[in-house]
Each structure stands twice: as structure tokens, then as C-alpha cells.
Amino acid sequence: MSSILFRVGRFSFRHKWWVLTAWVAALVVAGSAVGALSPKFAQDFDLPGTDGGAAMSMLQENFPAQNQQQSEPSTVVVIAAPDGLAAHNAQIDALVTDLQKLDAVTPETIVNPVTVAAAKPEMAGAVLGDNGRIGLITVHQKVNLMDVDMSLKNQLLDTLAEHRSGGLDVQATGGIMSAQEPAGKAELIGFAIAFVVMIIAFGALIAAFIPLVTGIVGVGLTMMLVTLAAEVLSINQAATAIITMLGIAVSIDYALFIVSRYRSEAARGGDRADAAGRAVGTAGSAVVFAGLTVIIAVVALTVIGIPIITQMGLGAAIAILIAVLAALTFIPALLGAFGRFAFSPRIPWIKHAEPSPTADTLGARFGRALVKRPIPFVVAGLAILIAAAIPIKNMQLGMDTVTDDQVAGQQLLAQGFGEGVAGPLVVVMHADRGTVEAAADTAVAEIKELPGVAAPQTLRWIGNGPSPQNPNTGADSAMIMVTPLSAPSSPQTHDLVEAIRGTSDTVAAQGAQLHVGGQTAIMSDLSAKLDKALIPYLVVVVGLAFLIMIGVFRSLWVPLIGTLGFVFSMLATFGITTAIFTDGAFGLIDHTKPLLSFLPIFLIGVVFGLAMDYQVFLVTRMREEFVHGLSAADAIVAGFRHGSRVVTSAAIIMISVFAAFMLSPDTTAKMMGFALAIAVFFDAFLVRMIIVPGVLSLLGKRAWGLPAWLDKLVLNFDIEGEKVRNRGLPATGDAASDTAQSTVVGTA
């Protein structure tokens, strides 16, 4: 494979303008298609193969009006006054008047709850709570949820702020409050930090720009392709954040490895096109296998069977594939375009930006210290990971996706009407023959007796009969809105969902089928499905990646140590994330919440792939030096000499890109960004840079071999680039280079 990659790199360098034109043309074509079609991302959750998904399909088919209403935002404006809302009636009237002026509302449906309670006492309990101190105003807007943007939300927020005075508190939750600022700020911050890191890594401005430009091109093309896919597929907008996050990180990382290796190869002499070919044939081989490992990890997310997780995985796989292709073709073409100016202007005060074979770098010194006394390093690394993992005993999982600016409204809502009012359950029934009346009456009677139902005496069923005045007559489908006493993400609500589903046998005896849907039920189903998928997912990801690493490293010990190290880094990540976001450690989070149910399985997929990136990039160089004659200990030092600076830079870039998402005002985004950033920190710096090489030094040369019978079965991928190592080099120059390198490392 290295020979093929050598030719790809040399071709791209020599035919730079054709290659660059092809990439620019791809961007222009994709961008033009996006501009012409204007695809829309979905906002709703679809969960096929679950009871909640079946309920929503039944609701869509038999209650189109209600389904249409659910596709439009209904924002709950919560008003509160310690001295009672009646004392603020005029102020509430003024609020209602301004709410009626919002875009796309039906003015007559927005009413003062105090006025409603006075005119219709039977409705008082639905609009007033806490003895008249808290009230509800529903603002329904005739726009599709997919079209909601920050302009509508800001219009509402300005109105609420104007009337939040004189002892009247005005908050909102749900509906358009779920709109988020468009992505961009975090990415820009990540790019800025990455640029600074690359200046330090290369000591030259142009070389620092090359990975940055590659990242922009790769992520830009990826997002255009994903956006175009939304024209024919239902792709949730929430899936795009991780695609962007991961795409930026790996594009820059892979480019960093190729450019760094090209600098080393160019310094060895010969034609620069051959140097580009050798860089792609050696480091490019590592990029291909690292990318393949990440792709396997994220594509395996499809085994979970949850559309949004599948979309994240497949979108991330596209981002990784484009990042690999860019590293193999776009980077050599850029290097060819800049020619001898690629590593200029140089910044002289940055030390070891371009180390010679005889330079005693910080990485080499650390490598010597590690192989000299590996046990203290390994023990210290494991101790830190174990200490960070201790809070995992308090880890809770849930699907609390309420954004921070809705928390105040949710708290008032719970105080006045109970925690469950924000997450009603939709019970849907359908009779294939005859009417649903008997089954619906039976369901209502049984649900009233279940624990955890708020106001059971008010439960009623609504049919889909032909007469709007009496829809229950002649109905073959029925719908019951059930409000839990507990919060939407609580275990008690999950138990209530399952208890209602437990009545399905009784309802079936009456000739109908029953399903429980709504956002709360769907989130409950999502959590359950994620729990069941975790073990199969681990088997698929770790199993396939382990087999690939056997071929890459031609060793059993290296994949085994790398995989066990990953387990430790994941436990530490879950522990410290639980401590901060659930336990509220250090006071960093204002609104603590359980870890998102999909966070563990998602982190495992993404971080396992990234962890293997650093394993491949650092340890393959160690194996390369061992294969070329160095002792096991000297090979580890040589690996640090040539790889530690670039791996450290890549990890810092990755951490910076992820950590930038912590600047989001939303706790969920902060949680994702923090968990990814700290996972990369633990895995790159403690596991890959300390524990793995430390254990390898203890094993010595035993680490770098396969049993004879297995060695015959495993293909030789030539990940070290043995076939292209000296292509284009004069024999004397190569011999001198190799001799100098062996001498320096041997005496290190």
C-alpha cells in the first residue's frame, strides 16, 4: 500500500494545480447545489422499532390535525407573582397584548389566565397554580419547527424582558425556546487555537496555514454533502454539531502529520516531489489506517438503530473519509504550490521546530526517562486515571435536553403545576375493526388507577370520529393525554410509561392496540435502546479495530495494551464528567443534570477512534525504527524524538476544538465538549504517551512480534513504508542519514 500512496503523493505534488482545481471545483459544485436546493435539516426525533415510534406513526395517520399542531412550536409562557397574579392583572393584559403581536401567532388563542379562570372556573386548574400565584399563557405559532430560528426566539425574549418588572416574573419554556444560536463561534475559536499550536509546532507561518486550510476545505465539503443529503433524507440538525467538531479536529490532525513528515523527508535530500511521495507513503499509511479505525468506530454506531445516532455516525464517517483524502492529495498539492517557501518565514525563537537527527529534543529526553524507569510513570498514569474515575459511582443517565434558558420556566412550571406537566404522555389506540369506544373506556379506567398520574379524575379520551362536534362517536382511534407527577427524565416517569404499556393486553381484549408516545416516552425508549445496544456496540468496535491493529502493528501486545488503556481513559472520563455536571463539583455548572443517555456510547465510538489515531501515529514510528534495526528501548526513544511533538500538537488541537464548545450557553453542549476534550487529554497524554510506551518498554522486543502461525495469516500492510523509505534518495545520502540517526538514538 505504501507504494501506491507514494505515487499518489508524488502525483499530487507534481500536478498540484490540477489537484487543487479539482478540490475547489468540488466545493463550488456542492456549494451551488446547496444554494439552489436550500435543503432543511429535521428537528424531530424518529425512533422506529419502538413503542413510542409506533405511537407517533399512529398519531400521524389517525389524528392529522393534532400531529400538525405538534409539528408547530407551542411555547409556554409562565408568569408568577408572590402576592398573587390577580394583583397584576393590568400588567398581564399588557403582556398578552404584546404576545399577540408576535409573528405567526393566532392572537385570539393568547389569553390572560386570570381572566380565563374568572370566566370559566372549571378551567382554573389548567391555567392557574400555586393558589393563583403562577399562571400559564400558551403561545402557538403557525410555523414549522424546522423553520424556527433565533429571530423568533429573540422577539419573544425581548417581549418577556419588557414585562418582567414590578414583582411579576415572566419566563418561557418549550416551543421556540429550543432554538439555538447557529454554529460558528466555537469552530472559529478552535481554528484560532489550532493555528497558534501549529505555529509553535512548525515555527513557520505558511506551514501552519496549510493544515488550517485543509481543515476548512474538508469540513466545508463535508457539511455541504451532509446538507445536500438532507434534501432526500431526514437528517436531524443535532447531528451536525459532532460532524463539524470531529471533522475539524481530524482534518487538521491528519494534515499536521503529513506536513511534519514531509519536512523530515525534504531535509533528507532529493527531489521535493519524491519527499512528498515518501511522506504520503509513510505517514500517509498511518493516516489511512487511523482513519479506517475511526470510520469503523463511528459507522458502528448504526448498530444501535437510532436514526439520529446513525446520522451522527455516517456523517462523521464522511468527514473522516474526506479528511483522509485531503491529507493524501490536497496537502501534497499545497506543498507543491508553495514549493521551497512552505516552511517560511521561519520564527527563530521557537526551539526545535525543525529538529535535526542529532537534536536532543524534549520528546527524546522524556522517552529516555520513561524507558529507564517505566514502572513509576505507568503507576502514576494509572493512579490519575483511577482517581478521576471514582465519581463514576454517582453516574446517572437521562435525556434531560432542556436548555439553560428554559430552566427558570421549568422550575416555575413544576412549582405551580407539578414536574410532569412539561412532559405529557400521548396514549394512542386503534381498532382495526369496529369502533374503539370500549377499548378507550377500558384504557382510561385502568390508567386512572396507576400510581404517578397527575389529576387522574380529569382523564378523558378523544376520538377521530367523523363529527367534529362529537368526535368520539364512530371513532376507530382514540388519544389520551396523561400528565405524570414526576419529571420527564425521572425513573418514576419511565415506570409510568411501562405501566401504561402494561395495559395493552387488556385493551387488546377489547379489539384495539395501544401505544404510548410523546417526547417523554420517546426519550424513555431511547435510553432503554441505548442500554441494550452498548455491549453489542463494544464488541463490534473493539473487535474490528483490534483485528486491524494486529495487521498494522503485527503484534498482539500493542493492540491489547492500547485497548485496555482506552478502557481506563473512558472510566476516568465518565467519572470526572459526572463529578462536574451531575454532582456540581467546583461550581462550574449552574444547572446540573444527568449525563445524556447517548453520551457513553457516543464517547466510546468517537474517542476509541481518536485514541487509535494517536496509537497509530506514535507507535508505528517506534515499530518503524525497531524494524530498521534499533533495540526495543532505543526504538521507543526514537519514536518520541520524531513523533512526540507532532502528537502533542495534534492532541492539543483536538482538545482545543472540543473545549471551545464549552463556551456555549447550553449545559448539554458544554457536557459534550468537555467530555470529548477531557477524554482526548486522558487518552493522548496519559495512555498513549506514558502508559502504552511504558508497558512496551517493560515487554522489550517481545512486544513487536506475532506467533509464527499468526504471522503467516496476517497481511503485510507495510505501514512503516519500508518499500518507499529511500525512494528518490541518493544512496550515499540515505546511508548517511540512517547511520546518523542510528548513532544518535543508540547513544541516547
pLDDT 10s digits, 94-127: 999 999 999 989 898 999 999 999 998 888 888 8
pLDDT on residue 38: 80
660 domain-assigned: yes
pLDDT at 731 over 50: yes
DSSP 247-264: HHHHHHHHHHHHHHHHHH
Give CA–CA dist 77/173, Å, rounded: 7
Which of 195-199, 398-402, 698-702 has the largest mean confidence?
A: 698-702
Q: Are residues 11 and 152 in the same domain?
A: no
Cell of 704: 513487536
E-strand ranges in 157-284 read 169-173
148 domain-assigned: yes
Q: Are residues 550 and 566 in the same domain?
A: yes
On whether the CB atoms of residues 694 and 377 are closer than 8 A, the answer is: yes
> What mean pLDDT value characterizes the chain?
83
Q: Are residues 472 and 596 in the same domain?
A: no
Give CA–CA dist 37/369, Å, rounded: 59
Q: Are residues 493 and 433 in the same domain?
A: yes
pLDDT on residue 467: 87
Q: Which residues, in sequence order, are CB contacts of 462 under 8 Å at separation 6+? A: 471, 472, 478, 479, 480
- Band (pLDDT 50/70/90 cuts) for residue 741 is very low
Which has more pLDDT, 440 or 205?
440
- Band (pLDDT 50/70/90 cuts) for residue 136 is very high
Give CA–CA dist 432/546, Å, rounded: 51
On whether the CB atoms of residues 392 and 595 are closer than 8 A, the answer is: no
- Band (pLDDT 50/70/90 cuts) for residue 356 is low
pLDDT at 215 over 80: yes
Q: Are residues 513 and 550 in the same domain?
A: no
250 domain-assigned: yes
Instruction: State phi, psi for 128 to the nearest 5 degrees.
Output: -125, 140
Q: 3-state DSSP call for residue 173?
A: strand
From 517, 542, 566, give the residue that closes a domain.
Answer: 517
552 domain-assigned: yes
Which of 471-480, 619-628, 727-736 has the largest mean confidence?
A: 471-480
DSSP letter at 684 equals: I
DSSP 107-159: GGG---HHHHHHH-GGGHHHHEETTTTEEEEEEEBSS-GGG--HHHHHHHHHH
pLDDT at 352 over 70: no
- Residue 161 C-alpha from the chain's centroid: 33
pLDDT at 70 over 60: yes
pLDDT on residue 298: 81
Q: Are residues 504 and 452 in the same domain?
A: yes
49 domain-assigned: no
pTM of full prediction above 0.85: no
pLDDT in tens, 396-455: 877 777 777 888 888 898 898 887 887 889 999 999 888 999 999 999 999 999 999 988
Cell of 340: 521551497
Q: Are residues 564 and 689 in the same domain?
A: yes
Q: Are residues 20 and 118 in the same domain?
A: no
Partner residues linked to 482 by β-bridges: 425
Which of 171-185, 210-224, 542-556 has the largest mean confidence?
A: 210-224
Q: Are residues 196 and 161 in the same domain?
A: no
- Band (pLDDT 50/70/90 cuts) for residue 736 is very low
E-strand ranges in 559-691 read 595-596
Can you tell me the mean pLDDT for 550-578? 88
Give CA–CA dist 498/561, Å, rounded: 42
- Residue 301 to residues 20, 294, 314, 316, Cα–Cα distance (Å): 33, 11, 8, 10
112 domain-assigned: yes
On whether the CB atoms of residues 399 and 527 are closer than 8 A, the answer is: yes
Give CA–CA dist 647/402, Å, rounded: 37
pLDDT on residue 479: 94
pLDDT on residue 738: 45
Domain of 124 in residue numbering reads as: 74-173
C-alpha neighbours within 13 Å on the C-beta side of residue 97: 8
29 domain-assigned: yes
- Band (pLDDT 50/70/90 cuts) for residue 724 is low
Give CA–CA dist 620/609, Å, rounded: 16
Q: Are residues 12 and 161 in the same domain?
A: no
Which of 78-87, 230-239, 523-532, 670-679 has the largest mean confidence?
A: 78-87
pLDDT on residue 529: 80
- Band (pLDDT 50/70/90 cuts) for residue 587 is confident
Q: Provide the number of structural domains found in the chain.
A: 3
Q: Are residues 267 and 134 in the same domain?
A: no
578 domain-assigned: yes
